[in-house]
Amino acid sequence: MLHSKLKVAAKPILLSALAVSACLAATVSWAKSDYPSHAITLITPYSTGGDSDLAARNFSAVAQKYLGQPVVVVNKPGASGVIGSDQGRLANPDGYTLLLSRPGSQAILPAISPTKTKYKWSDFTPIGLLELNPYGCYVRGDSPYKNFKDLEKALHAKGAKMNYGTAGALTTNDMGPKLLFDTLKLGDKVPTQIPYKGTGEATSALLAGQIDFSCSSIGPANGLIKAGNLRALFVTTPERLKSLPDVPTSKELGLAKMEQITGWSGISGPPGMPAEIVAKLWKAMEETGKDAAWIRATENAGSVPFIKGPTDAKTFTQGQYEVYHELGKSLGLIDQVK
């Protein structure tokens, strides 16, 4: 009798538990379908004024039209992009905290400094790619180095007494010069790297005469180059840039290997993001990529629109990781950079 009563009593409890479970499932489903219901934070892992910052702000200004909510850019610079990237990785996978992906933080660091980097290249949810950033090296407008040959002669003569600015170790700003020095076979005449928190700060230091040259995505320096404040010595694109037709390509100068170095931006999220949210974000990215205002802002920043979805973004990032891993091995850099 007691056993029978327990069975009868258990039925309401079971039904109640099932009802709660169904209610929770419905709430989660509703939350996903309602996404986004408030502002989205977009972390950029470098300081203001650089190509990552420009990419994030150009995206946020237009994407909110297609998401129906503000996209708030938050700069989290430090440790060559690791600090901001790791915050993006550890965020709640609800789609309200995203990361502006960059080659330094998402491919180079995991490839060359795996034991010191807190994450792997694959520890993020890829949402899409935004743009490519033509890369090059430049000096101050009044520099005695009128062209690359002038700089090359100086490097061979007194390279160890020279310096260059970067956005930190193991960024494209750093890897480009490392590959350049190896190609030029400078030996013990390698210049000293002066690391900053972002490309903008490195460019400011160059303008102030604190460093001899810098290499980075050309976009943020484009206006300064056209105004004569900076002088571009070469770009790593296969063809000369339409915006800088007088600047030779690295291949023209016999530096074809430098074409491996290029900048790019994408959007990613923490691991475990629901597929429905990823799809909504990608749809907004896709619409943003067709928007004339975004295209104009991206091109004005010296970048090339390169809208690709989650699958292509994952394949591209893996390819970049493999390029820099091989480059790191050839230069003897794997886990050697402090």
Q: Looking at the predicted structure, is the pLDDT value of residue 165 above 70?
A: yes
CATH of 40-133+262-330, one of 3.50.50.60, 3.30.70.270, 3.40.190.150, 3.40.50.2300: 3.40.190.150
Q: Evaluate whether 40-133+262-330 and 135-260 have a shared fold.
A: yes
Question: What's the pLDDT score for residue 27?
Answer: 37
What's the mean pLDDT when you consider all of the chain? 89
CA–CA gap between residue 88 and residue 270 (Å, rounded) = 6
Model confidence at 112: pLDDT above 80: yes
What is the model's pTM? 0.78
Q: How far apart are CA 131 and CA 160, in angstroms?
A: 35
Mean predicted confidence (pLDDT) in 49-57? 91
Instruction: Identify the pLDDT of residue 300.
Output: 86
d(CA 151, CA 194): 18
- Domain ranges across the chain: 40-133+262-330, 135-260
Residue at token pair 């850099």: 333
> Whole-angstrom Cα distance, residue 70 to residue 93?
18
Please, which pLDDT band fits residue 338 given cuts at 50, 70 and 90?
low
pLDDT at 267: 98
86 to each of 42, 71, 91, 192, 226, how far by Cα in Å?
13, 19, 9, 28, 36
- The stretch 123-152 carries a mean pLDDT of 96
What was the pLDDT predicted at 255?
95
Whole-number percent of the chain with pLDDT over 90 = 71
**Residue 214 · residue 196 · CB < 8 Å:** no
Superfamily of domain 135-260, CATH level 4: Periplasmic binding protein-like II (3.40.190.10)
Per-residue confidence (pLDDT) for residue 32, from 0 to 100 = 55
| Segment 18-34 mean pLDDT | 48
Instruction: Provide φ and ψ at 203, rounded to 5°.
Output: -65, -40
CA distances from 174 to 105, 180, 327 (A): 12, 10, 13
Compute the distance between CA of residue 286 and CA of residue 310 in angstroms, rounded to an integer. Answer: 11
Confirm if 325 and 260 have CB atoms less than 8 A apart: no
Q: Could you report the per-residue pLDDT of 182-205, keeping only the tens digit for each? A: 999 999 999 999 999 888 899 999
Residue 91 · residue 305 · CB < 8 Å:
no
